[in-house]
Amino acid sequence: MATVNSWLEYKQHTKHCNLLNRNTMDLLAFKERLANTLISLGRTKAFITPPRKRGRPSTTPTPEPEVQPAKTKPRSVDSTPYEETIKDGLDHMPTFDYKPNSSRCKNRPCKFKTNVYCDKCNIHLCFVPGRECYRQKHRK
Ligand SMILES: [Zn+2]
Ligand SMILES: [Zn+2]
């Protein structure tokens, strides 16, 4: 008996829901039609212009101009470092620049070119067997 009852209840419920659904659909259809009507009405200029808001002036945030992130300049290699810096013996690391063109060694009077530079001093110095300008420049 209970089963039949719940089935009936279920049926009732479904019916109810269907009815609701149909109503909802009808309402949606109505809303859509209304919207369409309004849109066609809105062809007149006055309607299109949105009514001005009353009260405090709207503080619509003006879109910030896109700030282009300043291109991070590549560390200016071969700028003259302070002698004190060259000789301080701290964190000087011979580094490859991997550039297609090598740069002039800054250990005068050496005129060779090298792809090795000190990443602290930012100066190119030979770092090859026979030309230890890197060491000389930092030690002399
Ligand atoms: Zn250095
Ligand atoms: Zn050199």
Residues, CB within 5 angstroms of ligand 2 (ion): 105, 107, 110, 112, 126, 133
C-alpha count within 13 angstroms, C-beta hemisphere, residue 90: 4
**Predicted structure pTM score:** 0.45
Reading the chain (140 residues) residue by residue, the pLDDT tens digits are 566 677 778 777 766 656 556 666 677 787 888 788 777 776 655 555 566 666 666 666 666 666 666 665 555 556 788 888 999 999 999 999 999 999 999 999 999 999 999 999 999 999 999 999 999 999 86
Closest ligand by atom to 82 CA: 1
Burial per residue of 40-76, b for 16 or more beta-carbon CB atoms within 10 angstroms, e otherwise = eeeeeeeeeeeeeeeeeeeeeeeeeeeeeeeeeeeee
